[in-house]
Chain A
């Protein structure tokens, strides 16, 4: 019980840290759950990202291929146009229009298809005149910044645009000299040198009306049979391998609207959210952005200037003629992340799981605490019950103690009462003793004085006064005897006598001797009286009083007193019987009382104390005394038999008890 109680108290003391500790698993689970969720979701995110990137890359690659194909196709158109000019030595405006019409109709990205023939300085005038026949204000012109133009200065060779389709919107181009611009001239030279088509740098901006565009130049050379007939003496100085070369007839030119071309190309693919930036690979690694294709999935958001970072890019290259363009593909923000739920799902799921686990643990710990609290409560109740029980036990013990105390008090009270009564008895005896002595002193004085009176007045006393003095002396003697009796009576029990071995027969004989009975009195002493260990003085007093009593109250001069004894258990029973007058039964209960005597008062020294003394002595020694009728008489009347019991063996009463040495009555 006490153990449980202490455990409970201990628990109470350690509750605060225990509470904190008990929640540790929850923290741990929460930490681990969050960490694991985060890690897994991160990993899944990474995987998703990779997957997304893969799909993005695939989409980007597809776009690259499509763009490449479209470019090849566009170049092919120009090549075909060149081929058309290759095939015919003479092409009319009408033929040209008819040739390109289907192509233009199919391909909206073509800004224009042109034919720019070679015109030497010498041929310029004739050429212009010839053309003016169809186009009245035709002249070879150079473009000026701002859209104006001027007549082209004389150059060794001119390449004025003669045919252009679609015509209406490109009318201003007629007569423009391709050789006017140094870059174009360079390209043309390159084309001739390589004998293949060349692609011009993309020009223009997306945000300008004309948009970004690029030109493709396809040189057209003279056929051999044509050349034979056209040989002219002034043209030998022309450098071979350049546009000034006689073989060059002109250039087929295609100008493409880049944006439209790309849009047209990508139209074959579904919108997938890939933006494509087109960069030229400039000289010395210098790149220039010339076009941006915004994905149809963008819904109008700008690129790339927006705040969202480009998660990943895919770079590829497209070969266009002798140029290489770099395409940088970037996913439209959100385009390749729509499916990226896995990580978040795992994160959310993991967190939810963690949360639920924590709640579960929390509930578990709560239940545990509840159970503990219950146990503590039960323990407390139990301890209360125990306390109550202990209290009851204590109460009972107290009651018991109180009872015991009462008992003790009772015992003490009894003891006190006993002691008190003993003390009173002692006081009474003391009183009797002291009083007797104090009474005796004046009595002795009276006795002496009366004796001296008698002596001194002997001759002068009359017989009457003589008798009166004698009577006075008798009364004094009787008074003295009474006092002696009282003294003897009070002395019993006040001072225990010494114990000694007593031959009772011997003791009785000594008593009878000291009593000196009248000569005619016969005292028979039984021979079988025992030897006892007892108080000699007391026993002798008993015998002396009883024998004296028998002699004194005898009704005849001659009498018989018989003393006998018999063993009875632990005691001896003695009897003193006489053949005297006997005691009538109605007086027998009175004779042991103090001062009670059946004889007249003036008879000698009969005090009435003797038998009271005997009774007290016998009872003091634990015995009893009673009177029976004796059958010693011959005349039919009964005498008296005093029967008393006396212990065989007595234990010494008290050590150091005072001893009574001499005793008046015994010595007398």
Chain B
């Protein structure tokens, strides 16, 4: 069901955080393609094939930051779930916010998980690893 070539779409505006994810994947030698959208609108355009860069296929997973400029992560989730073509995409929230409201909103729009970005890189790497492991263990079956 899942196509590894679909890769992961990371929606993140902070370049260091993008680097953190890339580095974590690299540290664990994970080769799954990582696509990055810097804003929620860009991500939506990409997913709908409206952007300049053509997306090869539907992403396996979306890693979503909540604190995004203009369109927030929660708004993106809402739009995603309202779109019939995109509503079944898997989303994991990866954010620095530990706000209960954010957490509740994320789960309301069917996020699979809610990960507060760990402070240390080590812990971050571990968290990413876990996500990837979960993804493939599920897809393997």
Contact = CB atoms under 8 A, between A and B. Distances in A.
B108 interface: no
A433 B99 CA distance: 9
A11 interface: no
Contacts of A480: 119
Nearest to B20: A448
A448 B121 contact: yes
B126 interface: no
A659 B100 contact: yes
Interface stretch (A316-324, A438-446, A503-511): A438-446
B17 interface: yes
B83 interface: no
B72 interface: no
A495 interface: yes
Residue in A444, A451, A480 with the greatest tally of chain B CB atoms within 10 Å: A444
A259 B69 CA distance: 166
Given A440-B96, A495-B100, A659-B100, A445 B17 contact: yes
Contact of B16 (A438, A449, A495, A662): A449
Interface size class of A (residues with CB under 8 A): 20 to 34
A9 interface: no
B117 A444 contact: yes
Nearest to A480: B119
B141 to A, nearest CB: 30
A423 interface: no
A658 B121 contact: no
B112 interface: no
A647 B20 CA distance: 46
B119 A444 contact: yes
A452 interface: yes
Interface string B101-128: 1000000000000000101110010000
A384 B120 CA distance: 90
A125 interface: no
Interface size class of B (residues with CB under 8 A): 10 to 19
A479 to B, nearest CB: 11
Interface in A609-666: 658-662
A447 interface: yes
Contacts of A495: 100
Contact of A451 (B14, B98, B99, B121): B121
Contacts of A438: 67
A335 B121 CA distance: 165
B26 to A, nearest CB: 11
Contacts of B99: 433, 437
A635 B14 CA distance: 56
Contacts of A448: 16, 19-20, 23, 121, 124
B96 A658 contact: no
A658 B100 contact: yes
B129 interface: no
A441 B101 contact: no
B101 to A, nearest CB: 7
A440 B67 CA distance: 13
Contacts of B17: 441, 444-445
A441 B20 contact: no
A467 B23 CA distance: 24
Nearest to A660: B100
Contacts of A452: 19, 23, 121
B41 interface: no
Nearest to B16: A445
Contacts of A433: 99
Contact of B96 (A444, A449, A451, A662): A444
A444 B16 CA distance: 9
Interface in A403-442: 433, 437-438, 440-441
Contact of B101 (A440, A658, A661): A658
A448 B121 CA distance: 6
Contacts of A660: 100
Nearest to A439: B96
A660 B116 CA distance: 14
A33 B99 CA distance: 114
Contact of A441 (B67, B98, B100): B67
Interface in B4-29: 14, 16-17, 19-20, 23
A436 to B, nearest CB: 10
B100 A447 contact: no
A158 to B, nearest CB: 185
A429 to B, nearest CB: 13
B16 A440 contact: no
A449 B99 CA distance: 26
17 contacts: A437-B97, A437-B98, A437-B99, A440-B119, A441-B67, A441-B96, A444-B17, A445-B14, A447-B121, A448-B19, A448-B20, A448-B23, A448-B121, A448-B124, A449-B16, A451-B121, A452-B19
Interface of B: 14, 16-17, 19-20, 23, 67, 96-101, 117, 119-121, 124
Given A441-B117, A448-B19, A487-B98, 11 more contacts: A433-B99, A440-B119, A444-B119, A445-B16, A445-B17, A447-B121, A448-B23, A448-B124, A480-B119, A658-B100, A658-B101
Question: What 6 A-B pairs come out closest when comparing CB atoms?
Answer: A445-B16, A658-B100, A441-B96, A448-B121, A451-B121, A448-B20
